[in-house]
Amino acid sequence: MNRRANLFRRGPLPARRPGPGELAEGLERATVLDRAVGAVQKSVQKALPAGPLRDTLNGVPFGHPAHPPLTDLPIGAFLSVALLDLLPGDRRATRTLLTAGLVGSLPTAVTGWADWSSLHREQQRVGLVHATAIGAANVLYAASLVARRRGNEAGGRLLGYAGLTTLVGGTYLGGHLAFRQAAGTNHADPVDHLVSLGWHDLCPLDELPDGRPVTRRLGYLSLFVLRTGEDVDVLTDRCSHLAGPLHQGRITYEDDEACVVCPWHGSTFRVRDGSVAHGPATAPQPSFETRVLENAMVQVRPAG
């Protein structure tokens, strides 16, 4: 009886302590970080200008962001230190692992900053705190190494566990960035799941302006469409980096190939096949085969 009455009773919900996910969401909205974000972004963009080095740091040659796999080395080394510190025995391995973790942190940090500088502001706020926590963990691990080298094993262990605690907090925010805020994932539309096999009518050829990209719908999809004379190139419109509208981008030429530059962060895709010419995007833009029928209707089908 009481149970049933409770079902319909209205009133304030009992206060609930926020979980880590909600705390991280709070960071997304922490505008107090914006001044620091702006200053750091300016420095990173100056230190890592667009070009081949920046593309490599973003992971363009590998087809995936370079930062996430690089984190495995320092995290693995530092976790191993925590385990070895629980065991008696030779301490040389611990010092070697600490050194390996600290050295491995350098390329990890540089690739992370390169990715961070081309994110949305909400992602950058979380990313800045993530990087600060990981930086603090590295300082603690460096102090731990120095203490051990000076023969202070107990102090070194204490500093190591302080580093681990900070590292866990920092990596949690890295996970929030990747999995909740989808930084580094592919944002292009999943064409295979949204378009059936075969040819589809798009629009009459003479509806397309020559040399200027426009957008057209195909079912659930927005498409980037570029007509050049009698040729038509078609890609999905949502940029694979962070879903920017490619049809609003400008057309450039790389090695005589027409490319579109995303208006949001400058990722550059070859319009012929959607491959990445420049990052920060690392995933290609899904492309379509096209043909023009005798009645001038443009048809498209997903490129295999």
Positions in the binding site for ligand FES (CB under 6 A): 239, 241-244, 262, 264-267, 280-281
Distance between CA atoms of residues 196 and 176, nearest Å: 34
The residue (of 146 and 182) whose beta carbon lies closer to ligand FES is 182
Closest CA to 128 of 76, 183, 65: 183
Helix (H, G, I), strand (E, B) or coil at 254: strand
Closest CA to 160 of 174, 142, 186: 142
Residue 67 CB, nearest approach to ligand FES (Å)? 16
The three-point CA angle 184-169-44 to 5° equals 45
Integer angstrom CA distances of residue 123 from 89, 173, 183, 208:
43, 10, 7, 37
What minimum distance in Å lies between the beta carbon of 238 and ligand FES? 8
Q: Would you mind telling me the total number of residues written for the chain in this entry?
A: 304
Minimum CB distance to ligand FES, residue 279 (Å): 8
- Residue 241 CB, shortest distance to ligand FES, in Å, is 3
Nearest Cα to Cα of residue 50 among 243, 281, 259: 281
What order do you get walking across the sheet with 231-236 strand by strand?
200-204, 297-302, 287-292, 231-236, 221-228, 214-218
Shorter beta-carbon distance to ligand FES: residue 170 or 184:
184
Q: Which is nearer to ligand FES, 111 or 144 (CB)?
A: 111
Smallest separation (angstroms) from ligand FES to the CB of 263: 7
Of 138 and 268, the one with the shorter C-beta distance to ligand FES is 268
3 state DSSP class of 228: strand
Closest to ligand FES by CB, 125 vs 241, is: 241
Q: Which is nearer to ligand FES, 214 or 243 (CB)?
A: 243
Edge to edge, the sheet with strand 250-254 lists: 250-254, 257-261, 268-270, 276-278
User: Nearer to ligand FES by C-beta: 54 or 148?
Assistant: 54
CB of 260 to ligand FES, least distance (A): 10
Using DSSP bridges, classify how beta strands 257-261 and 250-254 pair: parallel, antiparallel or unpaired: antiparallel
Tell me how far apart the 2 most distant CA atoms of the chain are, in Å. 84
Minimum CB separation of residue 158 from ligand FES in Å reads 43
Residue 135 and residue 178 in contact, taking contact as beta carbons nearer than 8 Å: no
